[in-house]
Amino acid sequence: MEIPSNDLNSTVANKNEVYTLPPIILYDNVPGGAGLVARLQYEEILKHSLEAALERVSGKCGCGENDSCYGCLRNYRNQFVHNFLQRGPISKYLQQVLNEW
């Protein structure tokens, strides 16, 4: 979407019996909102964004499935969890979301 990565944020809800996959919760990360999430209501933009995310965690960066690097998941803002970030589970999750599309 060509926006600064800190303007949009996300989390994954807890899995329960209603969903086969835990839902992704997206929100604008700027005061008052910037309407970025509203742009994702268009199916082609959301699908393209998920495909771009999957490409980023595809392993082309060279790290293992149980690791992460600055090429896939790590950045300055999440350095406090670098030891916990794993590219593999994210890749599998995104692949499953896109397969169920």
Give the model confidence (pLDDT) of 68-97 as tens digits: 999 999 999 899 999 999 999 999 999 999
Q: Which helix (H) or strand (E) holds 44?
A: helix 43-56
Top pLDDT among 98 and 11 is at 98
Q: What pLDDT, in 10s, does the model give residues 5-43?
A: 777 888 878 766 666 777 888 888 877 767 788 888 889
Helices 87-99 and 43-56: crossing angle in degrees, nearest 10, is 150
Q: Which two tokens stand for residue 100?
A: 């169920």
The per-residue pLDDT for 1 is 65
CB 51 within 8 A of CB 60: no
The per-residue pLDDT for 27 is 85
CB 37 within 8 A of CB 27: yes
The per-residue pLDDT for 24 is 81
How many Å apart are CA 61 and CA 47, to the nearest integer? 22
How many Å apart are CA 50 and CA 94, to the nearest integer? 7
